[in-house]
Structure 1
C-alpha cells in the first residue's frame, strides 16, 4: 500500500507541466507614436501640431516618406522655404516612396517653388568658406543649390590667399538664378623700390656758336671749291670759243658770221655762239659760288662776337710735392 502511493505521487509530479514565463514588454517606438499623433492632428486640420509631430518622427526615423509629409505640413502653414527644402530632399531617392507619395510630394514641391527663389552657384575653389546673407552656408563643395526667400541677397566666399568675392543678387518668387563665384589670388606686392642717388650731370655747354662757325666754314669752303670749278670750266670754254672764232675768221673773214643766209657759215657760227653762252654761264656760276662762300665765311667769323663759345673748364692741375732730399711741383692736364 505504501509503495503504490509513492509511485502515484512520482508519476503525478513527473507529468505536471512547468509554469509559463511572462514575456518582456516591447520597447516603445517614438517614431510610430509621433506618426500616430501627426496623422491624427493632420486629419483634424491642426497643421501646427501635425508639423511638430512629423518633425519629431523624422528626428527619430529620418525616412524620405516622413520628411515629405513634414514638407506638406509646412506648405499648408505657408512656410514655403522649409517646405521646398524638405520636399526636394524627400524626392532625392524616389525608390523609397510609393507612387502615390511621389505624386503628392512632386505636386507640393511645384507649389512651394512658385513662392521661393531657386539659387545655384559654382565655386572656382571648393575649399572656400561660403556665407549667405552673413550666415555660414558650407565649405568643401564646388556647387551649391538652395532656396531663398524672394528679395535681395548676397553670397560671399573667402579663402586664405585669395581676394574675398561678394556676389549680390535680387530675384522674385518663382525665379531661378545661377552664377559663378570666382576667387582671384591676392596679387603679390611689388618689389621694394631701390633709390639710387646719382650725382647731378654737369650742365651741358652751349655749343650753338661753335656749330654755327663749323657750318659757316664748311659752306664757305664748299662755295669756294665750286667757284674754282666753275671758273676752270669757263676758262676751258673760253679757249674753245677763241679757237672756233679763229677758224671762222680764217675761212670766211672777220665778219663771216654776219652772213646768215649762207648755210655753210651758219653751222660753225651756231657752235661758236653755244660755246660762248656756256662760257658765260660758267663764269656767272663761279662768281655766285665765290660770293656765297664769302657770305658764309663772314657769318662764321662774325659769330665770334654774337655767339661766343663758353669758356672751357680748366684742364690742368698743379700739385706741390715734397720728398726726402727736395721737392717740386707736379703739373698735369690736357692741352
Structure 2
C-alpha cells in the first residue's frame, strides 16, 4: 500500500472518529515515507497528524513530542495545519512535564529512568510523564552525573548538567582504600540573626508564598479554561457539518448531547472565573507584602536595608506571578 493510500485511509478513519485505526494508518504512512525521498512538508504533516491521533488516544507524551517536532519544521506546514497542530500541542503540554536539558560535554549520552533517549546532542527538549524521573549522563573520561527530576503536569524545567573529568587512578589506587581516621569538625561560627527571624519577616515569607501559589493556581485555571474552550470549538465545527445550528439546543426536541455541551460551557466559565479571581488575589497579596517593607520604619522604628523595593508582574502563557527585587 502506497503512502497516499495510507493517508487516505487514515483521514477517513479520523473523520469517522476511529482514532486507533487512524493512528495505525498515519504511523504506517510515516514509516513508509522515511526510506524514500519525501518532502519535508509531507513528513511534517504526517508527524503532526500522528500527534493529533495520540492526543485523542491520551498518549500525551508522544503527542507532545510529535506535534512539537512538526511545528519546528517552520514553513513546511500550511497555515491551517499549523493552527491545528499548535492547539493540539498546547493541550498535550498541559498533561506532561517539559524538560529543557543542556549537557557538557556535548558528546555525553543521556538516560531517562535507565533508558537512552537516542541521538546525542548538546541540548534536548524532552517531554516526561508527571512524577519523579532520574536523569543520568555519561561520557568517556568523565564522572557520571545524576539528577532527580520531580514535577506535576504542565510544569517546565530548565536543567543543565556538566560532567567533571574523572581523576586519574594510579596502581596504588586500584587496591582497597584504607579508611581515613575521623577528624573532629571545626566549631560552627555563630551566624548573624537573619532579617527573616522576626515575626514581620515570617509574615513576609507567608505573603510571598501565598502570592506565588495563587498566581500559579490562576494560570492553571485559565489554561484549563482555554483547553475546554478549544474542545468546544472543535466539537462545534463537527456538529455544524452534521447540520446543527445555533438554535438546535434551544428547541423543545433538543438532542441529549446538549446537556453535555452545557456542562462543558459551565466548566469553562468556572475555570475562567477561578483563574481571574486567583490572579487578582495574587496581585493583592503581592502589593501588601511589598508595602510591608515601607511601613516597617513607621511601625518598628527601624529602616529597611534597601533604599527601594521594585515590584515586577510576571505573566506568560503558562504562568503568572509577582517578582520582588531589592534587599531586606
* Range into which the TM-score falls when normalised by the shorter chain: 0.3 to 0.5
TM-score normalized by the length of structure 2 = 0.48
TM-score normalized by the length of structure 1 = 0.47
